[in-house]
Chain A
Amino acid sequence: MSVTDMFSNIQGFLSADQDIREDIRKVVQVLEQTAREILTVLQSVHQPSGFKDIPSKCLRARELFSTVRNHIGDLKTKFPVDQYYRFHEHWRFVLQRVTFLAAFVVYLESESLVTREEVAQILGIEVDREKGFHLDIEDYLAGVLIMASELSRLAVNSVTSGDYGRPLRISRFINELDSGFRLLNLKNDPLRKRYDGLKYDVKKIEEVVYDLSIRGLTKDPETAGDK
């Protein structure tokens, strides 16, 4: 085979590769749009009025997640199933966002940490790499960390709205999360960088709890918590 043939073969490969990337980018753009919509719905829980109807907001968000499932289903068809990591970078960011959103919804509903399986189910994807389009563990963890900073914000705003029980519950939750992350041996990668931010979220929430307790506002968290 001549040098020219060799290079035109490779050129063919490269342009096919670019076409795939182009297709992926288009779907990811739509996915990002939907993720922003869900975020907008959930952001309203920070409003004083939002605290009253958290369940309805979660319901609305869950409806929007069906759109997410459609888009991800679309995304799956854009590239060969066994080449997930070749194009991973294209959807890594948005997948972390939607993981965060799913985790946030689940937290608002049940005040518990979403499992990786639950996220995968909400997004209509797999947990195991072997089974197809899956949720990478680092993306899941990154999504959970995004939620942690959202919760530290929620703790502040819930005090503003007069819900003094919530910060205490958030504090317990975040602390547990923190000790969970302490178990991991993270490399010097983006996930580690994000994890380094967790301590500031923990600190922020602890300050809120401190402010509440020195003012005697935490006396009866059980009843205050159940709005």
Chain B
Amino acid sequence: MSKKDGEGCPRNRKQDNAQALRMGDPASDVSSSPVLSAFKTFQLELDCKHDKYERLVKLSRDITIESKRTIFLLHRVTSVPNVEEVLSEAESKLDGVRLKISQIAEELRGEDLFQFHRAFTPGIQEYVEAVSFQHFIRNRSLITLEEVNSKLVFLKEDRTEAKDSSAVQQGAPGALVFQVTPTDYLLGVADLTGELMRMCINSVGNGDMDTPFQLGQFLREIHDGFSYIGNTGPYEVSKKLYTLKQSLAKVEDACYTLRVRGSEIPRHMLADVFTSRAALIDTEDGVA
């Protein structure tokens, strides 16, 4: 149509373009019409948004990978003599993860957290899982949301004028704050229970008779907590509740067997009973 006609001759733009269009003026230069110039700004805006989104997705993937590695590392505590060493190594890995999270916070400076939430929620959940796992091994308690968040305050010297939004709210001047949403925290904790179940089975395999009962107790508390929330939470939470129930059942079974068998089998043989059992459970369902 007429848009082809004008392409060769870049005329004075804007100048009664709408008029020209309506009249079907063959010389109307549509390539610089208000509509097209508007769309050019839209293009910039959308591209900018998509780029930011992609960068966040990439950061989130890196966070997921590093957090997973930390969790694997932490699983070694059941079999090594020096727990502290493993814990401090995990700590330094988590510091690396936090560095990445600070980059997310940097990207989100002045943005709405929830506009890009989908891009980084998997990474954050994995981080919560790792950090709460480490916290549990060290303190035998559940890390609170406040504790998680308090570790995600980053001091930036270069920029003092922090323009902050809901997510990145004003802390100390120049501080960059990332806030884990309660939902992400909740989902991370739900994942944690899978790790605790594994840890329980592993520690039985290593002849540790106390940890399984502690874990059983702890998992029950978490399970009660989740049941309290029930279906008022988001959809993903209720989905994870099912897996949580399975994990809890396995741990409870393990404790049960430990009690029953423990009274009749000599201690040094228990390990054998459970190594075969653990293998059985792992093949049944390999999900964490």
Chain A residues proximal to chain B, CB less than 8 Å:
1-4, 6-11, 13-15, 18, 80, 82-86, 88, 110-113, 115-116, 129-130, 137-138, 141, 168-169, 171-173, 175-177, 179-181, 183-187, 221-222
Using known A-B contacts A4-B221, A115-B38, A179-B3, determine if residue A9 contacts B33 with beta carbons closer than 8 Å.
no
Tell me the minimal C-beta distance from A104 to chain B in angstroms: 16
Residues on B lying within 8 angstroms of A by beta carbon are: 1-3, 18, 21-24, 30, 33-36, 38-40, 42-43, 45-47, 49-50, 110, 112-115, 117, 141-142, 144-145, 165-166, 182-183, 185-186, 218, 221-222, 224-226, 228-229, 232-234
Q: Quick one: which of B2, B39, B226 contacts A7, CB cutoff 8 A?
A: B226
Q: Choose among B21, B35, B229 the residue that contacts A11 (Cβ–Cβ < 8 A).
A: B229
Given A10-B186, A83-B114, A113-B35, the answer on whether A4 and B225 have CB atoms closer than 8 Å is yes
Of the listed residues B47, B110, B115, B225, the one surrounded by the most CB atoms of chain A closer than 10 A to its CB is: B225
- Contact present for A84 and B112 (CB under 8 Å): yes
B158 to chain A minimum Cβ distance, whole angstroms, is: 22
Contact of A3 among B22, B40, B221 (CB under 8 A): B221
Query: Which secondary structure dominates chain A's binding surface?
Result: helix
State how many angstroms separate the Cβ of A131 from the closest Cβ of chain B.
13
Report the separation of the CA atoms of residues A85 and B181 in the bound assembly, to the nearest whole angstrom: 14
In the complex the two chains form, what is the Cα distance from A3 to B220 in whole Å? Answer: 10
Q: A221–B24 contact, CB under 8 A? A: yes
Q: Which of A112, A171, A175, A179 makes the CB contact (< 8 A) with B18?
A: A112
For A11, the closest partner residue in chain B by CB is B229
Residues of B within 8 A of A181 (CB): 39
Chain B residues within 8 Å of A141, by CB: 42
A82 and B112: CB pair below 8 A? yes
Contact of A172 among B21, B40, B165, B218 (CB under 8 A): B21
A contact residues around B38 at 8 Å (CB): 113, 115-116, 180
Residue of B nearest to A8 (CB): B228
Q: Contacts A11-B229, A86-B114, A113-B35 hold; do A4 and B224 have CB atoms under 8 A apart? A: yes
Q: Could you tell me the distance between the alpha carbons of A185 and B53 in the complex, rounded to whole angstroms? A: 14
Residues of B within 8 A of A10 (CB): 145, 182, 185-186, 229
Q: Point out the residues of chain A lying under 8 angstroms from B224, CB to CB.
A: 3-4, 7
Residues of chain A within 8 A of B2, CB atoms compared: 172, 175
**CA of A92 to CA of B208, assembled, Å:** 55
Closest to A171 in B: B1
| Chain A residues, Cβ within 8 Å of B142 | 3, 6
Contacts of B1 in A (CB 8 A): 171-172, 175
